[in-house]
Copies of this chain bind each other. A is one copy, B any other.
Amino acid sequence: MSLAEFEIIAKYFAAQAGERTDVALGIGDDAAVLDVDPDRKLVLAMDTIVAGVHFLEDADPFDIGYRALAVNLSDLAAMGAVPSWMALSLSMPAADERWLERFAAGLFELARAHDVHLIGGDTVRGPLVVTVQVGGWVENDRWLTRDGARAGDALFVSGVPGEAAAGLALLREHAASGAAVEHLRARFLRPEPRIALGRALRTRASAAMDISDGLLTDLHKLCAASGCGARLEVERLPVSPAASERFDEEAWLSFALGGGDDYELLFTIPAAHAAELDSKTLEGIGVCRIGVMTESRTVECFHRGQPFVPASTGYDHFAKP
């Protein structure tokens, strides 16, 4: 019998996690929050990427190093935290110097951009699996979680979810270059952690998370954590001029709703403040109102007023085939 990822975590790990008064927020959100300093909270995230699952087998090692850190910074962004240091665990089949040089270049390019210091880790022989753990800080009075959304809050997304999945599809088919193709590939290969946006949302959003497994899958998680539902207006999703050059609407909606890897932020804003933000930019990133939170405890999609059933709902590592 195959379990979904959240069932594995709930059944085998969260149930036995233990109790400590210095753990302000444990398993179940984008990162853990620890009470270690009277003046601020420590935020810790740890994510693993695997060849053939999170990146293509023939990926440029630069992009692997970049991604290993980016996915973790994205978790800190979703908490409203500022990153501070990282630890790296690198399992690799051999010590290939060209590979290592490119990997380190990608890792540290992003690390320098966010002033993240490498404090240690482990280097072992094994299959190519990269784990990064990132630590950072958030103010005591307010950090972002998945569980604060309430019925009536407006549902927002940053950037253009779906472009990363479109870029991955183009990489897989070895599409010929061109401006649109380059743009979409870059969205997959170099996701930009929304740290500054997360900081700006810290005092504005009622709930937030990053989109890593697909908008709908992650929206379900946000709804479950918050004990509410959502009504998503599909025609409100941000449009991608680049993707519209290459894909029809059906393919695009499948990327936008089901494709992961965007590392954009999904967040909710109390109704009274929703209009101020709709279709604006915050910290240089477009944010877009795509729906409303409901009491229904389900996620309902509508397309131009009609109920809409998406073709793909997102990624689960251990879903039944």
Query: Of B31, B46, B115, which is within 8 A of A18 by CB?
Result: B115
Q: Judging by beta carbons under 8 Å apart, are B117 and A18 in contact?
A: yes
Q: Judging by beta carbons under 8 Å apart, are B133 and A26 in contact?
A: no
A18 CB to nearest B CB, Å: 4
Residues of B within 8 A of A11 (CB): 100
Q: Judging by beta carbons under 8 Å apart, are B101 and A12 in contact?
A: yes
Residues of B within 8 A of A103 (CB): 12
Contact with B along A90-130 (1 / 0, CB 8 A): 01001101001101100010011001111111111111010
Q: Judging by beta carbons under 8 Å apart, are B108 and A16 in contact?
A: yes
Query: Of B12, B47, B54, B317, which is within 8 A of A89 by CB?
Result: B47
Given contacts A85-B34, A94-B2, contact A50 B123 (CB under 8 A): no
A9 beta carbon closer than 8 Å to chain B: yes
Contact with B along A133-169 (1 / 0, CB 8 A): 1010000000000000000000000000000000000
A222 beta carbon closer than 8 Å to chain B: no
Given contacts A116-B18, A124-B317, contact A95 B48 (CB under 8 A): no
Q: In the complex, which residue of chain B has the Cβ closest to the Cβ of A3?
A: B95
Query: Of B1, B27, B117, B317, which is within 8 A of A119 by CB?
Result: B27
19 residue pairs from A and B, CB less than 8 Å apart: A2-B94, A5-B95, A9-B123, A16-B108, A18-B108, A20-B85, A22-B85, A32-B85, A34-B135, A42-B42, A44-B87, A44-B135, A46-B121, A47-B122, A48-B124, A50-B124, A53-B124, A89-B131, A91-B129
